Structure 1
Amino acid sequence: MIQKIISYLIPIKIFRKKSARSKIIEVTWTNGELVLDSENTNYSYGSLQRILRYGLRNIGYKTILEMDHVLVLGVAGGSVIKTLIDEIEYKGKITGVEIDPDMIQIANEYFNLNQIKQLDLIIDDAFEFVLKTKDKYDLIIIDVFEDIKMPNFLFESFFSNRICSLLKDRGFVLFNTMILDEAHNVRNRKYISEINTKLFTSKMLPRIEVHNELIIIEKVA
């Protein structure tokens, strides 16, 4: 494909749409691969895929292969799902929750998410879904953004306690956060300090791609 070849020299934008939830969504050929971007940041593939892949490696691919059920809050184009299936060769169930139906349509059309048989895609608000779900999960990936903003509820103790309650024993949370100023640094450290240390261990991974910081929580009992 000529666009793919040219994209090693310059990015080739092939799709752009205004979305009520995500404002601007763009699909672009960059360095030979399709990436999904919002107005100000990468939403899927590209740098975001590298960030979440780093987090999954930290948990351990062998550990993930033994898991039965993964929950992804914030699907966008589905790059972390592709990492799980194509690179780790994960065979278990994946539930993906995405609030923006436009994003799901693009993910299906350009990234073929609807061809993944083990994936159950749900259009819902992450907060609402977490309150309603009756399932328990081995891994919960939180990657919820509105362009470069993160909803406040993600850092509230009610939500984090609920997330932790959905983990199976020895289960993990992989939480992708964005740090743009000192207030965000303080926010992340407060979040870590409020995790129940009797039941969970938590750690922050060093800055990845300049502005992203990953938080990993493990249920130890």
Structure 2
Amino acid sequence: MIKKILSYFVPINIYQKKSEINKTLEVTWTNGELVLDSKNTNYSYGSLQRILRKGLQYIGFERIRKFENVLVLGVAGGSVVKTLVDEIKFKGSITGVELDPTVIEIANTFFGLNQIPNLKIINEDAFEFVLKSKDKYDLIIIDIFQDTKMPNFLFENFFIEKINALLNVNGFILFNTMTLNEDDKNRNMAYRSKFSVDYSVRMYPKVEDHNELFTIKRLK
């Protein structure tokens, strides 16, 4: 409790661990909140939780409560899962896919993800998971970063088509991206153009400064 109070004045690091995938991972008390950070960016909770909560608000909490299956690609510390379960009161099935086993260990130890009964976490590469998955989802949340970098495959036609094939009609994709320069902005515009008239695509720029959100609804 003392560390939590002091964190309103100065961030207090309580845990640090090296990761082969994400380099340095830190758990820190900041402004009375426990957050997970990589070397150069917030990784879970804090600003990232606010970003993804806004995306879920754009889709609509009431609508999400009626969904049956949610897929989260890039779980990290599980902040979006906590928003789904604690704030939205989502009771359906949540499948989380996370590449980094160190992140999963931290998420379970410090953020209690292993105590959420309707969550299943799979330690696997998101591309490989999507490639072989046969299940359908009402909501697919894509939040995949390695520090400030986003893998190129997220923006390639093959991956986009595979994601679309997993989405139910009237379902949504919530895609969190980072735009640090003009190339990133052009990349996002090109991404938007890859969806046909069967999809309704909306972009929300400058969410917490450098993040740009997509909400994509499958119409038929």
TM range (shorter): over 0.9
Aligned to 2:218: 219
In structure 2, distance between residues paired with 1:117 and 1:85: 10
Q: How does 1:8-157 map to 2 (within 5 A)?
A: 8-157=8-157
**One-letter code of the match for 2:216?**
I
Q: TM-score, normalised by structure 2?
A: 0.99
Secondary structure of 2:131 counterpart: helix
**One-letter code of the match for 1:99?**
L
Q: Deviations over 1:42-91 (max 9, x none)?
A: 00000000000000000000110000000000000000000000000000
Q: Which runs of 4+ in 1 moved over 3 A?
A: none
In structure 1, distance between residues paired with 2:57 and 2:215: 11
In structure 1, distance between residues paired with 2:63 and 2:160: 23
**One-letter code of the match for 1:13?**
N
In structure 1, distance between residues paired with 2:10 and 2:69: 39
Aligned to 2:7: 7
Aligned residues: 220
The Cα of 1:165 is off from its aligned counterpart by 1.0
**One-letter code of the match for 1:196?**
S
The Cα of 1:203 is off from its aligned counterpart by 1.1
Aligned to 1:202: 201
The Cα of 1:132 is off from its aligned counterpart by 1.0
Of stretches 92-101 and 204-213 in structure 1, the one that deviates more from structure 2 is 204-213
Aligned to 1:185: 185
The Cα of 1:161 is off from its aligned counterpart by 1.1
In structure 1, distance between residues paired with 2:2 and 2:206: 36
Q: Deviations over 1:145-191 (max 9, x none)?
A: 00000000000011011111110110000000000100000000000
**One-letter code of the match for 2:115?**
Q
Identity among equivalent positions (%) equals 62
**One-letter code of the match for 1:25?**
L
**One-letter code of the match for 1:71?**
L
**One-letter code of the match for 1:202?**
V
In structure 1, distance between residues paired with 2:102 and 2:168: 32
The Cα of 1:126 is off from its aligned counterpart by 0.3
Of stretches 115-124 and 201-210 in structure 1, the one that deviates more from structure 2 is 201-210
In structure 2, distance between residues paired with 1:93 and 1:207: 31
Secondary structure of 1:146 counterpart: coil
Q: TM-score, normalised by structure 1?
A: 0.99
The Cα of 1:206 is off from its aligned counterpart by 2.6
**One-letter code of the match for 1:220?**
L
In structure 2, distance between residues paired with 1:73 and 1:21: 16
